[in-house]
Copies of this chain bind each other. A is one copy, B any other.
Amino acid sequence: MRDLANALGIEAASIYSHIRSKEEILQRVCFRMADEFFGAIEAVKDENASATEQLKRAISAHVQVLTRNTEASAVFLQEWRHLSEPHHTEFLALRDRYENYFREIIRLGIASGEFQVPDEKFAVLTILSGLNWIHTWYKPEGKMKPAEIAENLSAMLLSGLKKNLN
């Protein structure tokens, strides 16, 4: 709190004119980011597109949110564990719902014959882990732009490392 106050140029105690507690900050960051992720993914939702196309768009949306808010994303991805009840439970429910977006796409892709996957849930976890690692190395001033990152990720996750003989 004293560090935060210092960064704001005010006294630690003054923070409490704006928030009720330290945990409230955590809650706000976590649930605002959840909103951002849902907003982004819902904006690119398109029932008529192929599973491949849907997945590409979802990945792109996710990467955009992640790179636009690197610090809040780090909190969202790592610090939600420290949420107190009932927020902890609520957060996990939201995360599940978000994962289900991806799961639906995978399911659709399997049904349409586009995808071939060892395990559905496992596939989603691996995809999201690849996406969620970005915040640890992404730098806005780096040479790889968000759109390019999304493209590369889509390529790797869809086609893998193996040389494509098409």
Interface string of A8-35 (1 = CB under 8 A from B): 0000000000000000000000000000
Stretch in contact with the other chain, from A39-47, A62-70, A120-128: A120-128
Q: Give bound CA distance, A118 to B129, whole Å.
A: 19
Which residues from B are CB-within-8-Å of A118?
Answer: 151-152, 155-156
Q: Is A3 an interface residue (CB 8 A)?
A: no
Q: Give bound CA distance, A55 to B122, whole Å.
A: 20
CB-based contact B130/A161 at 8 Å: no
Interface size on A, residues (CB 8 A): 37
Q: Say how far A39's CB is from chain B's closest CB, in angstroms.
A: 24
Chain B residue at minimal CB-CB distance from A129: B133
Q: Is A158 an interface residue (CB 8 A)?
A: yes
CB-based contact A161/B161 at 8 Å: no
Q: Give bound CA distance, A116 to B157, whole Å.
A: 13
The A contact surface, by secondary structure, is: helix
Q: Is A113 an interface residue (CB 8 A)?
A: yes
Chain B residue at minimal CB-CB distance from A116: B163
Which residues from B are CB-within-8-Å of A126?
Answer: 130, 133, 153, 156-157
Known: A118-B156, A159-B160, A160-B162. 17 other contacts (CB 8 A): A114-B163, A115-B161, A116-B163, A117-B161, A122-B149, A122-B152, A122-B156, A123-B161, A126-B130, A126-B156, A126-B157, A129-B129, A133-B133, A158-B160, A158-B162, A159-B162, A160-B160
